[in-house]
């Protein structure tokens, strides 16, 4: 009987030490994806434009977005004239300091916000609403508004 209890305890510990993202609540895993995506995205976006930077941005989008949404991004950019994920034509690395991610329980969207520059004397809060879905074990961005 003692061996059975020890085996059960060991199995519990082994199972709980698996993939940390898998074992986190859904919201934490989704927020981690969003935070990592925006950190990488803004860090790349602020660099001098080049074909290499554009390729890296597209690879990041492809990795973090559903295929259907990834294919819609060029149409959205053409329609809005700005970046889909930033709602702007440029960015600043300091936006990462004010980056916030909040789940809107009413719409089941994640609200990403950061403080952008409107003028020298005034700040503006930019809000982006993301829809995420789970594909396999990973969350993917499936829409932006």
Mean pLDDT of 22-43: 88
Which pLDDT score, from 0 to 100, does residue 123 have?
Answer: 77
Which pLDDT score, from 0 to 100, does residue 124 have?
Answer: 87
**Residues 85-98: pLDDT tens digits?**
999 988 999 999 99
**Residues 61-85: pLDDT tens digits?**
999 999 999 999 999 999 999 999 9
- Measured between its terminal Cα atoms, the distance across the chain in Å is 58
pTM metric for this prediction:
0.79
More confident residue, 121 or 60: 60
Q: Which domains does the chain have, with CATH numbers?
A: 21-144 (3.10.450.50)
Phi, psi (degrees; rounded to nearest 5) at 87: 55, 45
């Amino acid at each position: 009987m003692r061996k059975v209890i020890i085996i059960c305890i060991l199995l519990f510990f082994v199972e709980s030490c698996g993939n940390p993202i898998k074992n986190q609540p859904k919201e934490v895993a989704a927020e981690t994806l969003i935070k990592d995506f925006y950190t990488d995205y803004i860090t790349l976006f602020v660099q001098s434009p080049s074909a290499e930077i554009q390729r890296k941005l597209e690879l990041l989008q492809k990795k973090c977005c559903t295929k259907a949404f990834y294919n819609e991004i060029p149409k959205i950019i053409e329609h809005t004239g700005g970046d889909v994920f930033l709602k702007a034509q440029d960015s600043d690395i300091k936006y990462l300091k004010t980056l916030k991610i909040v789940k809107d329980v009413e719409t089941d969207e994640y609200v990403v916000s950061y403080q952008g520059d409107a003028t020298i004397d005034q700040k503006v809060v930019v809000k982006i609403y993301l829809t995420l879905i789970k594909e396999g074990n990973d969350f993917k961005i499936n829409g932006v508004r």
